Amino acid sequence: MFSLTNEKILRRIIEVALAEEEQDIVSYLYSKPYGIDFLKVKLCNQKVSFESFGAFILNKELRDKLITPEESVVDLTILKGSGILVVDEETLNEFLNEILPNEIHKITDEENLKTKSADQKIKDCIEENIPENISADSVETIFSLVKESCKNNLLENMGKVYDMIKSQSGVTKIFQSKPELKVDKNTFVAKKWREINEK
């Protein structure tokens, strides 16, 4: 699985990097990994979870060493020593070859066009199934949740979207806009989600 770190945590790490005058790290933290959509697809069903901090990628174990749960301590040596920078096609391939050594990795022009078309389909579906008063940040969060969803995190992400739009049918339609998820009307049941959250 692959995801972007949340903005609050990223801001905290940038704050520490600025205080320690680590300008190179700061510039990478303000960026994103090269081929981010390609990475999400490639890493979606991997058992090891990866998280990006700007253009740096860390596995879950290292992520927990980078910043404490209460966000009070940030250890930049983790980024400098173990963070994998993915900033171009070469570093993308190096990273994927290490994680998935038996697969061929190449982003083609055709795949880029397919990604853009698929992204627009998801965005259009989101616009059609959200309340009018929802914020732009929430719309972007919903899009990110759909994009990063795979078998391992599908129900959790559907629940997060439900908490924002309060419509079971809307959630179903939004996630159906990503066909590979194979969502039907019985995949997510709002009542069960609410029961779980009330426990």
Read off the pLDDT band of 175 (50, 70, 90).
very high
In the predicted model, is pLDDT for residue 129 greater than 90? yes
User: What's the pLDDT score for residue 152?
Assistant: 76
Domain ranges in the chain?
2-99, 109-198
| Beta-sheet pairing, 2-4 with 50-53 | parallel
User: What's the pLDDT score for residue 115?
Assistant: 59
User: What's the pLDDT score for residue 113?
Assistant: 52
User: What's the pLDDT score for residue 167?
Assistant: 94
User: What's the pLDDT score for residue 166?
Assistant: 93
β partners of residue 50? 2, 59
Read off the pLDDT band of 102 (50, 70, 90).
low
In the predicted model, is pLDDT for residue 105 greater than 60? no
Give the range among 94-108, 121-135, 160-174 with minimum mean pLDDT: 94-108
Average confidence (pLDDT) over 124-135: 92
Q: Tell me the DSSP string of the chain.
A: -EEEPPHHHHHHHHHHHHHTT-HHHHHHHTS--TTHHHHHHHHTT-SS-EEEETTEEEEHHHHHHHB-TTS--B-HHHHHHHPEE--SHHHHHHHHHHHSTTS-----HHHHHHHHHHHHHHHHHHHHTS-TT--HHHHHHHHHHHHH--TTTHHHHHHHHHHHH--HHHHHHHHHTSGGG---TTT--HHHHHHHHH-
Kindly report whether the global pTM for this prediction surpasses the value 0.85: no
Structure tokens at 198: 């009330």
